[in-house]
């Protein structure tokens, strides 16, 4: 079937204990019919399942990429690589040099999750324990360091996190139905500056002999300009409303942030610009989220707001993300739910965030809009047909696991409905 689809999988040479997520997809994807289109574009996708439920949701996303791409005449080559806790166990570092090198050579990176798991190898299979093995490890030997290193290595600086309430799932929201209906927000978060990345930072002892941990909240004008231009450009493509979130009443970095965003607004007279403090923005996201279209903010505030906003659609299992430099090089596309150790291995996790991340990979990474829309329409169709994983299940819906949800997405994709005019292709 792989040859008939014109698609290939390239896997690295790994210890026998490693089970390929992309090879798993071939076994599950045998129901896929061959595309009528002859492949005319070729892309290489670096696949990094990582830890925990990344190994369950990424195979589903790869299946969706493969079929949607095939229907659009795309030849997608998947190269699976190690990252996170599984990389620590197998090769001793969270981000192997080979992973970073091949990620840089790819057209896009599909990432599952990195997280706190002990890898236990039994009879050539690997399992994840649920204990935080690396809590006391040096920072450079923690799984999360791999994500920071990958972002730095690929020089991505903008994080796109769409928050959309599907009309089929409005009853799953944690807010009142009338508050959540119609919410469609894009949160744009700066990734490479601010308190997560700036120096100096570290540990010391003060004059009283107390141990002190410190970080630096710092943004340069060029860093703010870089991310602000991305936000203005995206706001223009949406509803031309941009809200910049900061803490300019206290933090000097935020004062500069607001100054630079205000200055850049003069270049975009068609975009309505507002500024909110982080605490007000957090309250308004819960009180009246429909007022927001595009939100621009820094690395820490964006981390907080995007996770808070995850409760508006009803589950973090619905939220995709993209990290990109918007100019050159591969972007990173990943679900935001993390490794979710308590759900790993139970076939209960929601794969829609990973599948929607695949749609973002097509749209922002490969600039293949039709393929992106195919996936999004398939997700909507599956929800229309009443299939729900446990996190979004409501009375009257059909409760399914991760694998079954993936199969239903493939069925919807394989209906081959044209994204341009609704006719069969």
Give the active site residue among 171, 279, 342, 346: 279
Backbone angles phi, psi at 333, to 5 degrees: -125, 125
303 a catalytic residue: yes
325 a catalytic residue: no
Contact between residue 246 and residue 229 where contact means Cβ atoms under 8 Å apart: no
Kindly state the tokens that stand for 346.
Answer: 């139970």
Gap between the Cα atoms of 376 and 13, Å rounded: 34
293 a catalytic residue: no
Q: If you search the block for the tokens 């599956």, which residue do you land on?
A: 382
| Residues whose CB falls within 8 Å of the CB of residue 284, separated by 6 or more in sequence, listed in order | 276, 291, 292
- CB-facing half-sphere around the CA of 205: CA atoms within 13 A: 4
Gap between the Cα atoms of 190 and 266, Å rounded: 21
Gap between the Cα atoms of 271 and 273, Å rounded: 6
Kindly state the tokens that stand for 361.
Answer: 């990979």
Q: Indicate the SS3 state at residue 7.
A: coil
Q: Indicate the SS3 state at residue 84.
A: coil
288 a catalytic residue: no
Closest to 383 in 3D by CA, of 347, 414, 412:
412
Give the active site residue among 184, 233, 303, 414: 303
C-alpha 1 chain-centroid distance: 29
Give the active site residue among 129, 171, 307, 384: 307
Kindly state the tokens that stand for 37.
Answer: 């289109």
Q: Indicate the SS3 state at residue 47.
A: strand
43 a catalytic residue: no
| Residues whose CB falls within 8 Å of the CB of residue 411, separated by 6 or more in sequence, listed in order | 31
Give the active site residue among 63, 102, 219, 247: 247
Give the active site residue among 133, 196, 236, 391: 196
Gap between the Cα atoms of 5 and 37, Å rounded: 9
Beta strands in 215-346 (DSSP E): 241-246, 272-277, 294-297, 320-324, 332-335
Handedness of CA 114, 116, 119, 125 (dihedral sign): negative
Q: Would you name the residues annotated as active-site residues?
A: 196, 247, 279, 303, 307
């Amino acid at each position: 079937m792989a040859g008939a689809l014109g698609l290939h999988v390239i896997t690295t040479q790994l210890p026998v204990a490693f089970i390929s997520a992309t090879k798993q997809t071939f076994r599950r994807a045998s129901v896929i019919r061959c595309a009528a289109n002859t492949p005319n574009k070729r892309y290489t996708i670096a696949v990094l399942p990582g830890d925990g439920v990344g190994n369950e949701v990424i195979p589903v996303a790869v299946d969706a990429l493969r079929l949607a791409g095939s229907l659009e005449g795309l030849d997608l080559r998947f190269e699976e690589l190690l990252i996170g806790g599984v990389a620590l166990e197998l090769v001793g570092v969270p981000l192997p040099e080979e992973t970073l090198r091949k990620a840089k050579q790819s057209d896009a990176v599909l990432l599952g999750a990195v997280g706190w798991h002990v890898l236990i190898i039994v009879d050539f299979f690997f399992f994840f324990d649920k204990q935080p093995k690396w809590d006391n490890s040096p920072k450079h030997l923690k799984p999360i360091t791999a994500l920071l290193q990958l972002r730095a290595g690929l020089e991505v600086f903008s994080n796109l996190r769409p928050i959309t309430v599907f009309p089929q799932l409005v009853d799953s929201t944690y807010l009142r139905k009338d508050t959540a209906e119609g919410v469609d927000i894009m949160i744009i978060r700066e990734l490479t500056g601010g308190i997560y990345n700036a120096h100096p930072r570290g540990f010391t002892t003060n004059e009283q002999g107390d141990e002190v941990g410190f970080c630096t909240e710092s943004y340069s004008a060029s860093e703010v300009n870089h991310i602000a231009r991305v936000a203005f450009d995206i706001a223009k493509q949406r509803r031309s409303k941009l809200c910049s979130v900061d803490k300019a009443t206290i933090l000097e970095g935020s004062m500069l942030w607001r100054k630079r965003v205000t200055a850049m607004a003069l270049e975009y007279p068609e975009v309505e610009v507002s500024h909110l403090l982080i605490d007000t923005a957090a309250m308004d996201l819960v009180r009246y989220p429909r007022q927001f279209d595009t939100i621009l903010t820094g690395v820490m505030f964006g981390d907080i707001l995007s996770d808070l906003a995850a409760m508006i659609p009803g589950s973090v299992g619905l939220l995709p993300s993209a990290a990109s430099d918007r100019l050159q090089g591969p972007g990173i596309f990943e679900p935001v739910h993390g490794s979710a150790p308590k759900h790993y291995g139970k076939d209960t996790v929601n794969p829609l965030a990973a599948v929607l991340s695949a749609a973002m990979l097509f749209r922002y990474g490969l600039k293949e809009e039709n393929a992106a829309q195919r996936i999004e329409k398939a997700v909507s169709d599956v929800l229309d047909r009443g299939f729900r994983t446990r996190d979004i299940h409501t009375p009257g819906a059909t409760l399914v696991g991760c694998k079954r949800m993936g199969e239903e997405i493939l069925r919807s994709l394989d209906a081959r409905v044209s994204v341009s005019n609704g006719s069969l292709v």
